[in-house]
Amino acid sequence: MTVQSLIIDCDPGVDDAAALFLAFAAPELELLAVTTVGGNVPAHLTQRNARMLRQIAGREDVPVYGGAERPLKRPPAGAGDFHGAEGLGDLEPFEPQGIIGDGPAANAIVDLVMKRPAGSVAIAVLGPMTNLALAMKRERRLAEHLGPVVVMGGARSEGGNITASAEFNIWADPDAAAVVFGSGCQVTAFGLDATHQVRATEARIRAIETIRTEPARTTAALLRFSQRTERTLVGWPSPDWGAPLHDPCPIAWLMKPDLFSLKPCRIEVETGSDLTRGHTAVEFRVDPATARHRWAVAADAQGVFDLIAETLKGAERARGG
């Protein structure tokens, strides 16, 4: 089995939590660090939340580095309505144990990537791209030294979830997203076109609830919080509906690429207009041989949830559960 070295940059966040629990349990991934950024909730909460989730998963060996408190050029935004005031739904906050990584997240990203062979370290950006953009500004060689860059962000045919055409992560810091997409590195983007296909239905949540570990129980509880929130704030078109599970998609793709269909493209981000701030212009009329970006157009939703359940069960077996 090939093991992929990985940094996760995130803003936990209910769906970030599901992604982290998946990555913490995945034997296919060598998780080098978790870096956090202000996004779904303020930066001091996202760092604490990442450390809480690390403790629940029993992965205190993974360092957590706090990062940017605000976007590159704009005031901070938040999404507490969808994630709860503390960012993790109904999960009772606690002061986690374990060390906090020394130094800001951008420096940690540069150090972890540049000290390893070129192309060997992937980064999954599950929130605003501020930390990665700052890292690229501090180390000009970073883009060419990185391995796969996978991001949750953007929207095309599905439309936006914060404005008519913008997805929250890109809208929150469009200037940072423009830096990353324009850096020349290979970026695979999982926007709403794909993640809205991956929905936490009742049957899928129940399958996770049967797993006898704290990460699985916590994942299921967070998904139920998302169910209630989606029903209240967005609406529920049918009894079989479910809240979309955004952030685990890039992690699932790193583990099992055939769960998603991708198309080569060029992605540019609108930074100048208030009306279309954060719009992702996804252009498929490109030469596949030279395209630096790929856009997820389809997802095997059941396959993603099966992977989550199988991975969490595998961790249960490994611990003798």
Query: CATH no. for residue 157?
Result: 3.90.245.10
pTM of the model: 0.96
| pLDDT computed for residue 21 by the predictor | 98
pLDDT per residue over 24-49, tens digit each? 999 999 999 999 999 989 999 999 99
How many other CB atoms are found less than 10 A from the CB of residue 306?
16
Domain count for the chain, please give it. 1
Confidence category of residue 316, pLDDT binned at 50, 70, 90: low
Amino acid identity for residue 214 in this structure? E
Residues with a catalytic annotation lie at 246
Task: Please compute the mean of the pLDDT values over residues 210-214 and round it to a whole number.
Answer: 95
Q: What angle do CA 150, 152, 154 make, to 5 degrees?
A: 115
Q: Where are the beta strands (DSSP E) in 159-300?
A: 187-190, 199-200, 243-244, 260-269, 280-283, 293-299
Task: Please compute the mean of the pLDDT values over residues 134-154 and round it to a whole number.
Answer: 97
What letters, b where the CB count within 10 A reaches 16 and e where it falls short, cover 75-93? Answer: ebbbbeebbbebbbbebee
Quick check: 133 and 180 in contact, CB under 8 A?
yes
Amino acid identity for residue 234 in this structure? V
Structural domain range at position 158: 4-318
Distance, CA of 200 to chain centre? 16
pLDDT per residue over 85-117, tens digit each? 888 988 989 999 888 888 899 999 999 999 999
